[in-house]
Amino acid sequence: MIEAKDKMRVVLLTPSKRLLDLSGVSELYFPSEHGAVGVLPGHAPMVTAVGTGVVLYSQNDVSGFFKVAGGVAEITCSSVTLLVDVGEEATTIDLDRAKRALERAEGRLAAKELGNVDVKRAETSLARAQARIEAVELHANKNSKEKKSV
Q: What is the CATH number of the domain that holds 114?
A: 1.20.5
Q: Are 76 and 43 part of one and the same domain?
A: yes
Question: Do residues 79 and 45 touch, judged by C-beta distance below 8 A?
Answer: no
CA-closest candidate to residue 9, choices 111, 77, 78, 98? 78
Average pLDDT, the chain: 89
Distance from C-alpha of 128 to C-alpha of 69, rounded to nearest angstrom? 7
pTM of the model: 0.83
pLDDT of 3 higher than 60: no
Domain membership flag for residue 3: no
Domain membership flag for residue 141: yes
pLDDT of 145 higher than 90: no
Question: Do residues 82 and 71 touch, judged by C-beta distance below 8 A?
Answer: yes
Query: What is the number of domains present in the chain?
Result: 2
